[in-house]
Amino acid sequence: MFDNQSILITGGTGSFGQSFVKTVLENYTPKRVIVYSRDELKQSEMRSNPQLYDPALRFFLGDVRDRERLYLAMRDVDYVVHAAALKQVPAAEYNPHEFIKTNVNGATNIVEASLRAGVKKVVALSTDKAVNPVNLYGATKLCSDKVFIAANSYAGDSGTIYSVVRYGNVLGSRGSVVPLFAKQREQGVLTITNPKMTRFLITLQQGVDFVLESMETMVGGELFVPKIPTCSVADIAQVIAPDAKWDTIGMRPGEKMHEILIPEDEARNVLEFNNHFVVQPIQSFWGNKIGILGGRSCPGNFRYASNINCESLDNEQLTGLLSEYLP
């Protein structure tokens, strides 16, 4: 799909962005892979990484808040992956305007710039926090999801189509509890919010692969949700630091006991496939083509959460998944 094509990824210097760029360069022969981000230091470090060296790789300094800059960056671009976002939950509560500018207004800018440039496909990354949001970060990502899905109606028959990919915690990413527990193991005490709390776990590479698969099959308007396993916080703690003591500190503001990737309210619009779900748009007023993908309808009371309708990791599977963080 990407051979001799130009791909732009916003937030391309982040964990996902670097893994995505590496995967694309290893598996395709693109004309250009454009890393669009606002951090010159991270771009410099990425440019000097021998694992990422490729004549097709380009670096473009810019912010998704800057629509004019996006117009320039997207000239002759075929595909866009939107991974740029402000993500820290506590920071969002203290700086709501900044999160709105990046996560909501930035999404609008991506839509308008890609439409103007005649981009073929645009995929935006979402999060479980956007489902029944209880914090500002989740609320801004919900708005972003709605902007991208509705963009298909603005695009009409122009040829540009938009979809969203939503998944849970990325194993070992910044802010993940896994590297935190590995670090706290040295002191012998882990700070645990609630041992019964459950979480979806997906590796960075699995996330990248799912985004690529979604881009290949998308027809516009889908919200893709992968089927991924879950475990409890206690399970993670016991595997990473079996001899450590626990200091239970209670749930922090904005946290949920269980993650939800598909709420019951969306069940009537959900199609199930072998390895993922597709949430169809509530209003398919641009001519819904999603039916051609196949899939089977879910029951009316269906919900996909980390404590229901999901596969739980056993100790052996979790140990294999967390192997690089073990003593």
Q: Identify which of 227, 253, 251 has the alpha carbon closest to the alpha carbon of residue 137.
A: 253
Question: Six-digit token pair at 131?
Answer: 């489902």
Given 87, 121, 129, 256, the catalytic residue? 129
Both structure tokens of 172: 């070992």
The single-letter DSSP state of residue 325 is G
197 Cβ neighbours under 8 A, 6+ residues apart: 232, 233, 251, 255, 257, 258
Token pair listed for 105: 């207004």
Q: Which of 298, 255, 313, 42 is nearest to 128 (CA)?
A: 255
Give which of 300, 282, 226, 283 is closest to 259, Cα–Cα: 226
Q: Which amino acid does the sequence have at 9?
A: I
SS3 content of the chain, % helix, strand, coil (to 5): 40, 20, 35
DSSP output for 207-249: HHHHHHHHHHH--SS-EEEE---EEEHHHHHHHH-TT-EEEE-
Tokens linked to 139: 């609320």
Residue 50: enclosing H or E segment and its boundaries? none
Instruction: Note the Cα 208 to chain centre separation in Å.
Output: 9
Q: What b/e readout covers 31-56, taking b as 16+ CB neighbours within 10 angstroms? A: ebbbbbbbeeebbeebeeeeebeeeb
Residue type, 104: V
Q: What distances in angstroms separate CA 77 from CA 31, 205, 232, one per listed residue?
A: 10, 24, 42
Q: Is residue 256 among the annotated active site residues? A: no
The one-letter code for the residue type at 1 is: M
User: Which residues have a catalytic role annotated?
Assistant: 129
